[in-house]
Amino acid sequence: MKLNSGLIALEEDYVFAEVRQRVQRFSAQNPDRKVISLGIGDVSGPLCRAVIRAMHRAVREQGRRRSFHGYGPEQGYLFLRQQIAAALTAAGAPVQPREIFINDGAKTDLGGLLDLIEPGSRVLLCDPTYPAVRDDCRIRGLEPVSLPAVEADDFLPMPPPGDPDFDAVYLCSPGNPTGAVYSRDQLAVWVDYARANEILLLFDAAYAPFLSDPALPRSIYEIPGARCCAVEIGSFSKLAGFTGTRCGYAVLPNELSSRGIPLQALWARHQSARTNGVSYVVQCGAAAVYTPAGQRQTAKAIAQVKENAAVLSAALDAADLSYWGGEHSPYLWMKCPRGLSSWGFFDFLLEYGGLVGTPGIGFGPGGEGYFRLSAFGDPSRLREGGLRLVRAMDYLR
Ligand SMILES: *Cc1c(COP(=O)(O)O)cnc(C)c1O
């Protein structure tokens, strides 16, 4: 049997496994010291009451013959697609329900959408970036091409000069790990570039709920022309704490096509071949996010994470460290002080602060010398984390 060589070649998730190992070793050697993690890329929950109520109701329906739901539409229930379309439209990005495809979380389709392009094609990815897309390229026989995201550009790279030699580009704004946010004008340059060169733009809007400045775009479809070249991926994970409940969506506009082939129909065909859709109960829970109570409750949870991020920002300011993000994002991306490497700073922070973060190099070679802090989690734990960070930095002086 000939195994998938791209799959075999995936380097192990070395950085994240190594973080776990180093923390375990430290805790074993220092049983009296309680480690605080600022490395978590997960929400702390719980799901809000509006979502829980809707899911309870849906479970009861599933328990009665006359309200039972079997296989649903592969594309997702219309009731949820209507809510998502209305929310995007209200935000200045007009979208129709037929253009929305519900999935069990963004990660599934970030990879799956790459099936739209021919194996062997090249995909442009920022470095550093969310690692899942790079791995997905390799598994699917696509070649990831790296686009350096550097401090001088505030980690917001623009299209590379010269003729493009790739077929798709993945952008995430607000970004993970850097928290950097593209402006409207910058995204307009990307959209024009993608249209002029017939490049598929995959836009990851998972962190759009953290944007607090209305001048910043929360959807790529706020940009003229984007409907002809861009797929947008959204998620309920960070919006409403669905990381363990699983729901997201992809948007494929009517106008999106390549050489006369409409991508929306092609994707519908792909989905009917690959999935039987997302659980009815979960889709009912996701739809409840758009009720007035759901909107209030999810906004409150996001406001808490943003408050946490402000606490971490204040700590980084007090420690006189350079950092990005944290304003429209749960992540703060800091430069390791004193020229330390990502791992050097990791070890220092663990030893002198009992703190855990994520070494920047885990997001690509371009992340070396940087470090990601996450504002997800309990506010009092985050406050303690901020104090420890400031105290630890005294040892470097
Ligand atoms: C968390 C996250 C998502 C959401 O993923 P789900 O599969 O929906 O949980 C998408 N993109 C990025 C960059 C993320 O960090």
Evaluate: CB of 232 within 6 angstroms of ligand 1.
no
Evaluate: CB of 176 within 6 angstroms of ligand 1.
yes
Nearest-CA residue for atom 12 of ligand 1: 206
- Cα separation values, 94 from 91, 97, 203, Å: 8, 10, 16
CA distance 346 to 188: 37
**Nearest CA-CA partner of 114 in 123, 105, 106:** 123
Residue 242: the pLDDT is 98
Residue 40: the pLDDT is 82
Residue 285: the pLDDT is 98
Assess contact for 359 and 343: CB atoms under 8 A: yes
Please identify which residue in the block is written with the tokens 């970004």. Answer: 175
261's tokens = 């082939």
How many CA atoms lie within 13 Å of 217's alpha carbon, on the beta-carbon side? 22
Neighbours of 386 (CB within 10 A): 24
Residue 16: the pLDDT is 85
CA distance 176 to 186: 18
Task: Please give the chain's pLDDT, 397 residues, in tens.
Answer: 999 999 998 877 778 889 999 999 999 999 999 999 999 889 988 999 999 999 999 999 999 999 999 999 999 999 999 999 999 999 999 999 999 999 999 999 999 999 999 999 999 999 999 999 999 999 999 999 999 999 999 999 999 999 999 999 999 999 999 999 999 999 999 999 999 999 999 999 999 999 999 999 999 999 999 999 999 999 999 999 999 999 999 999 999 999 999 999 999 999 999 999 999 999 999 999 999 999 999 999 999 999 999 999 999 999 999 999 999 999 999 999 999 999 999 999 999 999 999 999 999 999 999 999 999 999 999 999 999 999 999 998 7
Cis link prior to 128 (omega < 30° from 0)? yes
Evaluate: CB of 205 within 6 angstroms of ligand 1.
no
* H or E stretch at 101: strand 100-103
CA distance 31 to 35: 10
Assess contact for 35 and 23: CB atoms under 8 A: yes
Residue 15: the pLDDT is 86
Determine the distance separating the centroid of ligand 1 and the alpha carbon of 1, expressed in angstroms.
34
Residue 375: the pLDDT is 97
SS3 316: helix
Residue 295: the pLDDT is 98
Residue 279: the pLDDT is 98
